[in-house]
Each structure stands twice: as structure tokens, then as C-alpha cells.
Structure 1
Amino acid sequence: MARRALILVEGSRYNGPLYVQAALRLGLHPITLSADPAQYDYLAAEGIEAIGVDTDDLDALIRECSLLRATYDIAGITSAGDSFYATVGKLCRYFDLPGPDPVSIERCCDKFTQRQLLAEAGVPVPAFRVAANATDVQCSAVEIGLPVILKPAVGTGSRGVRLCGNLDELAEHTTYLLGGKHIWRSSPRILVEEFAQGPHYATHIMGNEVIGIEAAEFGPPPHFVYREGIFPAPLTDDEQERMADVSLSCLRALGLGWGPTCIELRWTKVGPVVIEVNPRLGGGPQHIQLAYGVDLITEHIKLVIGNEWNLRKTHSHVAAWRNLLPDRDGTLDWIDNGSLAAAVPGVAEVKFYVEPKTPIVRKGDFRDSMGYVMAVSPNLAQTEAILQRAVELVSWSITPFPTAYE
């Protein structure tokens, strides 16, 4: 009898290892298809099968999966990120497997189209325009009113996203995006967006069920690099209900509702405003498992392979995480092994993505994180205290790069 395989299109340093481990626990043989399998160090470390293939070429992926079917029973196809989620939907349609609607995913992943559909459905979103050149960007920003956020119309992980407070910053970032430094996954189009101000939240959804809402904070502007998060967010019943209602209205407007969705919002002076709908799990959903006992990655894989999932909470704690963000560029001289932080009661995980002697070059997006600390306890105050104590026990040293005149 052929082994049941789970095909993963590309990986991710956050959720990739979790999908591999969950697949193994479910008795599946995970196989990662990637344009560059070597970029995912966890594949080699855990001896996971990986195949090099052009993941931007749907026909090449179909051929590879067809070849694999000669050896394996392909139980399901999915991805740890959203960049290839529309492709996953097309593969699932081709091989008659459970999967997301590729048309809905493609519309959602185009941020301009997404906002158009949300606005037409009456979902509260920031004012927005789309621009293809510097003149359009400036005109759009003046119409909306500074400060504005510039972001690629298609992209993930806050790559190329910047808050621009004046016309000089606007021109500088426009030049960066259109001048060849930013790598575009599609034709260059810039979303110019009103800066909605207020606390930031993320609604975590599976299917049509709201699992919970997370509070999150960013590091210093002008970039949007996540600094920390708390799950579940400390909200009133009214705030919880209003954000859940708005989030579910996003699914209806965008034709989503199969599998995971992560919806980012801000609570502004007019209430919840939707910043972005991501047709995937939020990065690193371990905190949800710590707080509620629900393993969203395992439950997502169950859906992918046609099994019944179980989203029932088994307990109710408060989990929090803090990203370890460098305050300068330079060479990482040393970073401790995290053993002191990990020994603090209530610390669930300490993880590093970097090693000593690594060059640290901040990019202003998710790649800036050097690692994270995660904690859990029965209540918010205790969790925050545990996290703070643990983070203070993590130390490192970065020597700035030598300047040209030294």
C-alpha cells in the first residue's frame, strides 16, 4: 500500500517546521516542493524529502505531483505561506483534492482588489488609491492626506511597507519601490493607504469560525515589524463582538471561508477598521495552542486531507510572545543560548534564527526578527511578567559595520 504523502508548496521559517512535524504526527510523509529547498534549513535537519521545482510554473508543479503519484498516495496539497496559496488551490482542483478557491485567493492576495471588494461590501477600510508611478503616488497621497502608508499591491511579510509622514519620505520610498531595489512578484503597482491609527489586532479564523483575537504591537516606525503579541487580546465583550462581526464580513466579501484566515485590524476612533485579510494562518500559531489547546496547523492539515477537524478549546490561558529585534546593523558577535530565559517558569519556547558572526542588516520587515520568546500562564498580568523577565535574560552584542572613512 502506497504511503500517504502531504505535498507542501514552498516552506517558511515560521510555520514550515510546524507543518512538517504535524504531518509526521498524522502519519503522513511530508514532501516540500521548492525552487530552492536549501533555503529551508529545517528540511535537511529533520531529513525531510524536498524536490527542486519552479514553483511559479503551475505546469511544472502538476508534472512533479503526477510523478509523485506513481510512488505515493497524495493525501493533500497545501502551503505554509500565502504567496503560493492560489497555486495550491489550482493544484487541488487539478488533482480533485480538498483546497481553497484559487480565484478568491488571487483576488485576496492583490491588496488593491481586496480593498475594492471590502469597500463595495461596506466593510470599514482605510482610504486607498493605487499608483504605478511617482506622480500618481504623490497625487494619491495628497488626496488622502499625509501621513500615508506605501506598500506593494502584491506582497507579504511587510516587505516594502513604509509609513511616510511628508513628501520627502514619500518620494524616497517611491524611488526605492520603483527604482529596482524592491523585488516585485507582479507588475509594479503601489497601494497608497490612509494611516489608520489605533491599537492593532489580528482575528484568527478557521473555516467560518473565529478562534480568537490577538493584540499585537509593532516596533518603531516607519516600518511595520511585529514586536510582540498577546492571545487572547484583553477586550470587552462589545469590542470582541464587533471585531468578530467585521472579520466574518470580510470572508463573505472575498469569497473565503475554506481553511485558515488571519485578518489584521486597527481599533480607531470609529471602531474596527480592516487593514489586511491574509488567506492563511498567522505566523507561528503556537500561542493559540498554548492559550486554548487548539493546534491550528494540525487541524488545517486534517481539512486538507479530507478528515474532520476539531476546533474545541480544552483550556483558557493567556499566551504572549516577543520578537528579538536588533537596534542596529552590524556583525552579530555573540548571542546567548537562551537557556536562562527558557528556564523561567511559564516560558514555553525560546527560539533563535541567527548564529554568531552573522551580518545583521535590517530590512524593515519580518526578516528582521532574530528569534522570539513565548510565555503562557492562567492570566494576563502573570504572562506579561514572565515574558518580560525572560526577555531580559536574553542578551547579544552587535558590532556596527566599519564606515568608509575608518
Structure 2
Amino acid sequence: MSILVVHKGNPSRRRHLARAARYAADHGEELVLLMAGATWEAELADRVVPVDTANAEDVLAAVKAETAPVSGVVTFAEALVPAVARVAAELGLPWVSERTAQLARDKYRMRLAAQAHDVRQPRFGLARDLDEAFDVAEGVGFPLVLKPVLGTGSMFVRSVADRDELAAHFEFFRHGAWAGFSRDPLHRAAVAEYGGGLLLEEFVPGPEISVESLVVGGVTHSVAIHDKPLPTGPTFEEVYACTPTRLPAEVAATAAAAAADVHAALGIDVGGTHVEFRLRNGTEPVLLEAAARLGGGPIYRSVLLSTGVDLVEGALDVATGRAPGIEPRERPAAVGFWNIFPERAGRFVAARGVEEARADPRVVELDIYREPGEPLAVPPQTFQGHGHLMFVAPALDALDSTFRELTALVRLETEPT
């Protein structure tokens, strides 16, 4: 028997793959990695099948060529959720439906599905040029947020305060929203459908959170909520997150229930999810994004360290038809992480302060994903940081001060290209 992981290069998923490898070994199964250009990833799999994962039909053909029975198929990459849905549907394995995979990836369709199910969300519209953007802005109102139809990690996302800022930024973000995701498996079809349009959404003031869940048999089990204190704009790069949430218990319960409503609206009845909200007036969850896969980057380990729940193990249990264990500890630990960006884009020279930070007993992970000489982009032209630092704090009220203290130690130094 084999477990298939459909993957694309992303150093922030190293621990996801390592845990998947241990899971397969523990169950006496082979871990088969389907991806192009595997390097370090090959060390974590029993076997690598080279395939262009940007093409769902190529992925399906590669899976059909496998001779060993397949017990489950998963991905930890946002762009590959529809390809896994295609494979799972063909093999009769647990995963979200192909329709749901499309809704979870296409942000305009997601908005329409949420609207049809009365999920609270921002006012929104689609604009293909600046004149159309001005028309949409009349209904959405300022400030508003420019957002790609496809994509992840706040890449080519920006708030604009008024008509002048909309005029100044619309075309740059519209172009970047499509050029920046040209390798996305849905890119060609989405360009044809939307004519290169950009989403315009109401800016919702209030705290931002994400809800991490496992959905089993249509039932949502919300495991953790991350607070996301930074930033509030204008480009919304995902810099700092921490858990457990510091929200009042009743607001946290409302957010968990709202995540279940989002799952119902999109048809997510199985697997791991990551749902992001803004809390209007500090209490009302308003849907920003929803993903039919586990939260990216350090979120997996953050949840594990805080709650004791292993979301990768749980997602693999669900994908292979096993019953996952979902028993968060009664007193979660205070955990935070920093997605590391340089001050300015350029050629990576060196990471300063890394050894000093690693020597601090509060630091549990510090990974730099890039090597000197590589180009480092900054928001809004990158979808993730170039490393992360994860830490534990003695108490919830010490999270922010610990974040400020530890993040002052590390710096990614760049030089102009």
C-alpha cells in the first residue's frame, strides 16, 4: 500500500513531509511523492514520481501508472488541492469534491458560494479595468482591498483608501495578480473566465484570526485559533501569529461556529482546513479566506506545540479512512511565530543573529529557507516569508513582548541586484 503526496517545491513544508514519512512508516506503507524537481524532498519519501503537478491530468496519469494499491492521497500546497480532488474522485478516496476544490481556490466563486449561504463576508466585486473598478468601488466603498482571484499568502493584495489610491495601484496589482500566479494550475481557465479581472472587497476593520480545523464525516472539529496582530495594512503580509487566541471564550466559540458555516457553504466535508476572518467590532466573524487544506508554513508545528494535536497526522488519518485523534490538551501552551522578510528586496547576503536566537531557550524553531546569493522578494510580490522563527512564551500576556524581543535579534541582509 502507498500514500501519495502531491507536492510542489516549498521549504516551509519540510516538517509536513517529514511527519508524513513517519506516518507512512508507522503504518507499514510507502510514501510516494509526486512532484517536479525534487531535491531535499527526495530524502523524506520512499519514492519520487517526477510529474508536472501544475497539470491535473498529468498527475492523474502518473497515479494510474502506479502498481501498488493507494490508501490515501493528500497535498499540503494550496494550488494542488484541485489535482488531489481529481485523483481522489477517480480512486474513490476521501478528499473534498472537485467542485469544492474549485470553490476553495477561486476567490470570486468562494464569495458567490458564501453569499448564497448567508455567510458574513465583505461586500465585493470584480473589475477588469480602472473604469470598472471605480464603478465597483461605488458599491463596495472605501477603504477597499485589491485581491487576486487566485493566489495565497497576501501576494498582490493591498488596501486603498480612496479613488486616487485606487487609480495609482489598480493596474500594478491587476497585472501582478495574474503574472505572479502564471504557474497556477487554474491560471489559464481563470484568465479566460475573468478576463484578467481583479477582486475589490470591502476593508473590514477589526482583529484578524485564523481557525485551524479537521473535518471528519462532515463535522468540524476546530483545534486552534491563531491571533494575527500584524499587520493591518496596506499589504497584509503574514508576519506574526500566535495561539491560543486571546479572544473572549464566547467570541472564540462564535468564530469556530463561523468556520463550520464556511465549510458547509463550500461543501468541505472532509480534511484539514484553514479559515481566516476579520472580527467586525471585535466580535463578528467576517470571512476573508478559506482553504481546503492545512494552514501553511509554521502553523502545523504551532498548533502541535500549543495543543498537542498533530494536524498532519489527523489529515493523513482522514485521507486514509482512519479515525483521527482530536484531543487538545486542557491548557494549551502560548506559542507564536514570525515569518521573516528582509527590510528590502535584493540579493540575499547573510542571515544575522541566527545563532544568538537559536541559543535562546524560548526559540523552538528557526529556519532560513534561502541561501546567500538567492533573490529575496518582499510583499506584495511574494506569498511567504523567507524563513520563520517559532517561540514559546511563559503566558499569553507575554506573547507580544517575547515576539518583539526575539525578532529584534534576526535580520536578513540583502544587497541591490
Question: TM-score, length-normalised on structure 1?
Answer: 0.89
Q: Distance in 2 between matches of 1:51 and 1:66?
A: 12
Within the candidate set 195, 204, 221, 1:196 is matched to 204
CA contact 1:53–1:61 (8 Å) conserved in 2: yes
Q: Distance in 1 between matches of 2:16 and 2:350?
A: 30
Residues 1:390 and 2:406 aligned together:
yes
Aligned to 2:325: 310
Structure 1 unaligned residues grouped into runs of 5+: 402-406
- Letter of the structure 2 residue corresponding to residue 112 of structure 1: Y
- Letter of the structure 2 residue corresponding to residue 346 of structure 1: R
Aligned to 1:227: 239
Q: What's the secondary structure of 1:84's corresponding residue? A: helix
1:260–1:112 CA distance, 2 compared to 1 (3 A): same
Within the candidate set 42, 62, 69, 2:40 is matched to 42
Structure 2 unaligned residues grouped into runs of 5+: none
Within the candidate set 325, 334, 338, 2:354 is matched to 338
| Residues 384-403 of structure 1, C-alpha deviations (whole Å, 9 max, x = no match) | 444433323323433345xx
Aligned to 1:290: 305
1:347–1:177 CA distance, 2 compared to 1 (3 A): closer
Aligned to 2:127: 131
Residues 1:112 and 2:112 aligned together:
no
Q: Distance in 2 between matches of 1:197 and 1:218?
A: 13
Q: What's the secondary structure of 2:360's corresponding residue? A: coil
Residues 1:256 and 2:271 aligned together:
no
Aligned to 2:84: 88
Aligned to 1:328: 344
- Letter of the structure 2 residue corresponding to residue 190 of structure 1: L
- Letter of the structure 1 residue corresponding to residue 364 of structure 2: A
Within the candidate set 73, 81, 87, 1:77 is matched to 73
Alignment of 1:345-384 (within 5 A): 345-364=361-380, 366-367=382-383, 369-384=385-400
Aligned to 1:55: 53
Q: Distance in 1 between matches of 2:402 and 2:249?
A: 26
Q: Distance in 2 between matches of 1:9 and 1:172?
A: 39
Q: Distance in 1 between matches of 2:151 and 2:179?
A: 14
Q: CA deviation at 1:126?
A: 0.7
| Residues 70-122 of structure 1, C-alpha deviations (whole Å, 9 max, x = no match) | 2x332211111222212211211111222222212212322122112222322
Residues 1:99 and 2:104 aligned together:
no
Identity of aligned residues (%): 23
1:8–1:47 CA distance, 2 compared to 1 (3 A): closer
Q: Distance in 2 between matches of 1:143 and 1:33?
A: 45
Q: What's the secondary structure of 1:226's corresponding residue? A: coil
Question: TM-score, length-normalised on structure 2?
Answer: 0.87
Within the candidate set 138, 143, 147, 2:139 is matched to 143
Q: CA deviation at 1:44?
A: 4.3
1:93–1:381 CA distance, 2 compared to 1 (3 A): same
Residues 1:174 and 2:170 aligned together:
yes
- Letter of the structure 1 residue corresponding to residue 198 of structure 2: I
Q: Distance in 2 between matches of 1:11 and 1:338?
A: 27
Residues 1:300 and 2:315 aligned together:
yes
Q: What's the secondary structure of 2:112's corresponding residue? A: helix
Alignment of 1:205-224 (within 5 A): 205-207=213-215, 208-219=220-231, 221-224=233-236
Q: For the aligned residues, what is the CA RMSD?
A: 2.3
Q: What's the secondary structure of 1:51's corresponding residue? A: strand
Q: What's the secondary structure of 1:265's corresponding residue? A: strand
Q: What's the secondary structure of 1:256's corresponding residue? A: coil
Q: CA deviation at 1:174?
A: 2.9
